[in-house]
Amino acid sequence: MTEGEILQKYAFAKDVLAVAILGGVGDWSAYIGAVQGINHDVEQFEVAKFGEKLPEDIARLIFPQVAKEYIWRN
């Protein structure tokens, strides 16, 4: 795995997507953003680049498995 790699994505709705991203030292963070809802496999990269960073407690609820495997990036 490499830094910036998307570990997991979660669609809250057709046009709202959250992604968990791998950091450079085995850490992670999560972002959320509005998308067109046409192709989440493509749109996940837009959220990773331009999305709003989620608070740690919310990110852990959305991505519990990622939270178990990696340390949160502040």
Q: What is the mean pLDDT of each run of 10 residues along the chain (74 residues)?
A: 88 98 94 98 97 98 97 92
Q: Can you give the pLDDT at residue 55?
A: 98
Q: Can you give the pLDDT at residue 36?
A: 98
Calpha distance 6→29 (Å, rounded):
10
Calpha distance 7→68 (Å, rounded):
13
Q: Can you give the pLDDT at residue 26?
A: 87
Tokens of 14: 């057709």
Domain ranges of the chain: 6-72
Q: Can you give the pLDDT at residue 1?
A: 62
pTM metric for this prediction: 0.93
